[in-house]
Structure 1
Amino acid sequence: MKLATLQQDFHTWLTTASPEAALRLGPATAAGLAVYQNNYRAQLVGCLETSYPNVHAWLGDEAFLASAVAHVDRQPPHAWTLDAYADGFDTTLAARYPDNPDLHELAWIEHAMSVAFVAADAAPPSAQALAGVDWESARLVLVPSLRMRTATTNAQDLWTALNDGTPVPDSEMLEAPAGLIVWRRAFGCYLNLVDALELDALRQVQADGRFEALCEWLVTRLGEDEGIDAAGAMLARWLGNGLVAAVESENESV
């Protein structure tokens, strides 16, 4: 048997427990193969436990283990680092618990915080540099760590309580859909709940970073005076929170 074929059979058996692959590897290796597969699966389950401690606490040991095993069955590792194995676990949870949006959003928060922590660095522009910006031609560049999604539950409160070790509130649906945003500033990751308008505004900036376009979009939504005021308030908040990595104009970037 060629080495490449042997390696492929071992990979197939390890990830799927294929009896055909095991047979090609030889009956004498059966006991050893079981040891390798147990170690393989235990490491992947351990990776998910490390990546989703608050989801683990929320679900409990039994339900979390069952979900982790289901994820291992459906998704083998896909990257060179085990850190990436946490990708897609929220999809597994959504499939197993389709009627629990609080769990879906809690898992998203946990994963987004991890991804934001290892995202590229971005230092916010200084106040002095911003003083000379021509805002009519300015283009906003959001930090690469920013992650966002629609929120329908109080998952932010659930995650905060679980993370701080304080009493966890009852799960509730929000009165109206809002937005969850996660980003990193320096060595800290931050989670915030914003209203649906601000979530859409951030998406607008991702699609078209021109500040003028943001103002026009908000004027269309809110009217001229209120729209301009909202654009200024959002810009000040984003700059203060470190959501803006740079402000580019036709001739320079700050």
Structure 2
Amino acid sequence: MRLSDWQVQVQAYLLNPDTQPNPELRASLLGSAVLSAEQGLAIYHNAYRARLLEALRGDYPAVHGWLGDEEFDALALAYLNAHPSQHFSLRWLGAKLAAFIDGYLIPAQAAPLSELARLEWAFTLAFDAPEGQPLSLAQMAELPAEDWPALQVRLLPSAQWLACRHNSLAIWRASKERGDFPGSQLLAEVETCVVWRDQLITRYRCLAADEATALRGMTEQGWTFAELCAQLSELGEQAPLQAVTWLRQWLSDGLLQEHAMD
């Protein structure tokens, strides 16, 4: 057997939930007086899957805390059987867990748990995202008055949006602070949460519906500052003040960077 073929067989063995090797792989190995080839392979197989479980626990501590060791491991093993690791880095191992939960559990159980998983994955994506060039309040203060109407901005690459219909943030905070589990609850109104990285710290903030619409308008739909003010026309003379207040908040948060010109 060529080395490359043997490597493919070992990989297939590790990715298979069955600890029994195929006859060809078994015949290529020699045991010892104290450890048979089957036992050695089984130890390697178990250690590999234990490392994958450890990685998923690390990526989803709040989901793990909610379910406990036994239920989380059962979920994780079912996930690994459906989605074996396909990347050289464990960084992407849990990318499909939230979607898997939606199909693994009945909808009533899946909805709050998959939302929590999406929230935790948003923090992971934000932390690992490429660097951006945040606009500062000082830079904006230097902008000439005549340039303000045409001002356009966009979000940093690390920014992630999440619509929370359950108290996922409360559960996440309790897990992070090692507090008591608050219990899953359906919110009276959907919360729009933005997660982003500020230097080496991952942050989040919940936005009211009008602020979320304004931020999406400027960063996704390409509104200028003048168009943002026009969207707030029902506020009358207070429209520019509200627009400036939000813009100042977004700049203080470190959420924005200059709009790239085509």
* TM-score in same-fold range (> 0.5): yes
Q: Which residue of structure 2 lines up, in the alignment, with residue 165 of structure 1? A: 178
Q: Which residue of structure 2 lines up, in the alignment, with residue 3 of structure 1? A: 3
Q: Which residue of structure 2 lines up, in the alignment, with residue 71 of structure 1? A: 79
Q: Which residue of structure 2 lines up, in the alignment, with residue 42 of structure 1? A: 50
Q: Which residue of structure 2 lines up, in the alignment, with residue 180 of structure 1? A: 193
Equivalent position SS for 1:177: strand
**Which of residues 28, 33, 48 in structure 1 aligns to 2:41?**
33
**Is residue 12–residue 21 contact of structure 1 (8 Å, CA) maintained in 2?**
no
Report the CA distance between 1:79 and its aligned residue: 2.2
**Which of residues 240, 243, 247 in structure 1 aligns to 2:252?**
240
CA distance, structure 2, for counterparts of residue 57 and residue 247 of structure 1 = 40
Q: Which moved more, 1:103-112 or 1:65-74?
A: 103-112
**Is residue 57–residue 162 contact of structure 1 (8 Å, CA) maintained in 2?**
yes
Q: What is the identity, as a one-letter code, of the residue corresponding to 2:94? A: A
Larger radius of gyration between Structure 1 and Structure 2: 2
**Which of residues 116, 127, 137 in structure 2 aligns to 1:117?**
127
Q: Are residues 163 and 89 of structure 1, via their aligned partners in 2, closer, same or farther at CA, if it must alter by over 3 Å? A: same
Equivalent position SS for 2:116: helix
CA RMSD of aligned residues (A): 2.8
CA distance, structure 1, for counterparts of residue 98 and residue 227 of structure 2 = 32
Q: What is the identity, as a one-letter code, of the residue corresponding to 1:242? A: G
Report the CA distance between 1:143 and its aligned residue: 1.1
Equivalent position SS for 1:150: strand
**Is residue 136–residue 254 contact of structure 2 (8 Å, CA) maintained in 1?**
no
Q: What is the identity, as a one-letter code, of the residue corresponding to 1:105? A: E
Q: Are residues 96 and 197 of structure 1, via their aligned partners in 2, closer, same or farther at CA, if it must alter by over 3 Å? A: farther
Deviations 1:94-134 (A, max 9, x none): 22233232222221221211221222233532323212431
Q: Which residue of structure 2 lines up, in the alignment, with residue 208 of structure 1? A: 221
CA distance, structure 2, for counterparts of residue 223 and residue 23 of structure 1 = 75
Length-normalised TM-score, structure 1: 0.84
**Is residue 138–residue 249 contact of structure 1 (8 Å, CA) maintained in 2?**
no
Report the CA distance between 1:62 and its aligned residue: 1.2
Deviations 1:216-247 (A, max 9, x none): 7834xx74637655533332221121111335
Q: Which residue of structure 1 lines up, in the alignment, with residue 96 of structure 2? A: 88
Q: What is the identity, as a one-letter code, of the residue corresponding to 1:107? A: A
Equivalent position SS for 1:189: strand
Equivalent position SS for 1:86: coil
**Which of residues 164, 181, 191 in structure 2 aligns to 1:151?**
164
Q: Which residue of structure 2 lines up, in the alignment, with residue 59 of structure 1? A: 67
Q: Which residue of structure 1 lines up, in the alignment, with residue 22 of structure 2? A: 22
Q: What is the identity, as a one-letter code, of the residue corresponding to 1:36? A: Y
How many residues are treated as equivalent by the alignment?
A: 248
> Quick check: 1:12 aligned with 2:24?
no
Q: What is the identity, as a one-letter code, of the residue corresponding to 1:37? A: H
Q: What is the identity, as a one-letter code, of the residue corresponding to 2:123? A: M
CA distance, structure 2, for counterparts of residue 55 and residue 20 of structure 1 = 31
CA distance, structure 2, for counterparts of residue 188 and residue 9 of structure 1 = 42
Deviations 1:172-226 (A, max 9, x none): 211122212111112211122223343344333343334248517834xx74637
CA distance, structure 2, for counterparts of residue 153 and residue 20 of structure 1 = 43
Q: Are residues 27 and 196 of structure 1, via their aligned partners in 2, closer, same or farther at CA, if it must alter by over 3 Å? A: farther
**Is residue 182–residue 192 contact of structure 1 (8 Å, CA) maintained in 2?**
yes
Equivalent position SS for 1:193: strand
